[in-house]
Each structure stands twice: as C-alpha cells, then as structure tokens.
Amino acid sequence: MSKIHSLTIMVLSDSVGGTASNVVHAALSQFPNVEYELKNFPFIREQSQLQTVLEKAKKFNAVILHTFVDTMFVDMIESFCFEQDITCIDVINPLIKEVTAQTNTMPQHKPGANHMLDDKYFDRISALEFAVKYDDGKDPKGFLEADIVVLGISRTSKTPLSIYMANQGYKVANLPLMPESSLPDELWQVDEKRIVGLTNEEEMLSNIRRERMISYGMNPETPYSSMERIRREIQFAEDLYNKLNCKIINVSSKSIEETSAIIIDSLNNH
C-alpha cells in the first residue's frame, strides 16, 4: 500500500516537548501507511513567540499538541485554534484538572517541572552521549561498558532503538553486520544476556532499502536491495546470533517501543 502524506503535526511546549512528541509517535505508529511531518517548537516562554508559531500552524493547517501549564498560554492557544478552526490537543491539563479535583491539591503551574535536573535526568544525558559515541560500531570498546549491545544488518532500526533506550537511561552500543566485515574481539567478551540480535523479513527489508535509495535520488535496483543479498545478510546474522547464544528479535511487525519493552523484560528476568 502506498504512503499517504496528509498530516502536519506541531508540538508546542514551554519545556522540551518530549511528552507530546512521544504521544505523537505512539499514536502514529498505529497508522504505518500515513506519512506525517512533526514540527517541534520547544521553550516557548513569550506570547510573541507563541503567536508566531500559531500563525505557522494556520499556514500549514496543522494539528497542534501542547503541554503548556500556564493558563494564559493555554487560553491563547485555545482561542486562536477555535477562531481559525484548527485542531488543538491539550496533552497534560485534562489530567492536571482531574488530579486537582480528586485530591483537592493545586498544581505548581511550573513549566518543565517534569525535567528537574535530578539523577535520572543526568543518567539519561549520559546514556544518550554513550549511544552516540558507540553508534554503528565506532568503538568496540564500548561493548564492554554497555548495558545492551544491539546487533543487526542494515535497516533493522539499530540506531533508533539505541537512542530510544538511551532516553530510558540504558547505555546501548550497536554494531552493523555485513558478511564481508570482521567482527571485533570485544563482542565475544560480552555476556550473552546483554546482547540482542535484530532481524527482519526479506521482502520488508528490500522495500525499505529500495525506498532509501529513492530518497537519495538513486536507482533502487541495487545489490543493496536485492533479495539475494538480503537473504545472505540475514543468514550471516542469524548464524552469528546462534553462536553468541543471544536473544533474537524480529522487528518486522514491532515498533521501537515494543522491541525496547521485550529487551528490558529480558534483562529484568536474568
């Protein structure tokens, strides 16, 4: 089925906007054939900034998600969206109002209160830096320090998974696999329980790689996207996974969130 490009989604926030962005990705993962453009506008602290962004939303006929807690900004957004007939989704305030009603406790109305610089915050930052440093096998020494080592052939979502799990505080290193490449010695020193091998279906990989070539303005009919080449790569990877005795996950029908949950569950059960 062909992709349908029909949505522009704008996330507006007085902080980093991560909460609303996660909601967007979770919701749109249910619509694999719908393409969308996500535009983030974080740290909006002035009315003039907000007005400029709202005018952009009008221009793009965008769906707006916001996580403002300042009632002045919330009212400004809702009024503008009502007048311009723009869809607006308040991600956080309905729950805040319900908690207030049920606990008789007033909220702080403090922007970015969920992003306090606590230990968990710094752990996430450290994990993100780790994932970037040890992405794509840049330095195999990272395998010995990682909480999780992710292996996989091209287009099995190694890097997105690494970054997603880093946001949860896990130090993740990943290694791309090719039959022609030599494997680093460090890989064989890692506890098998901390290694995850990703795989995918042949046809899906071929389609993904073909689309990748098209996006680069190149001929999609290359050895990179050929079924013969992909079949060889999958076999090489699965043979390696069996030698390592590591967990194998087929990502063909799984979101990044699902794959991450499987890995975390596996770690917790060992």
Residues flagged as binding site for ADP: 152-159
3-state DSSP assignment of residue 22: helix
Known binding-site residue numbers: 152-159
Cβ of 4: how many Cβ atoms within 10 Å?
11
**Contact criterion met (CB below 8 Å) for 67 and 19:** yes
Amino acid at 78: E
Burial class (CB in 10 A: 0-12, 13-18, 19+), 227: exposed
Query: What is the C-alpha separation between 20 and 197, in angstroms, rounded?
Result: 31
Alpha-carbon span 125 to 121, nearest angstrom: 6
Distance CA 238, CA 67 (A): 44
Instruction: List beta partners, residue 175.
Output: 151
Q: How far is residue 47's CA from residue 230's CA, in Å, rounded to a whole number?
A: 53
Rounded to the nearest 10°, the torsion over CA 221, 227, 229, 235 is 160
Closest CA to 179 of 198, 199, 153: 153
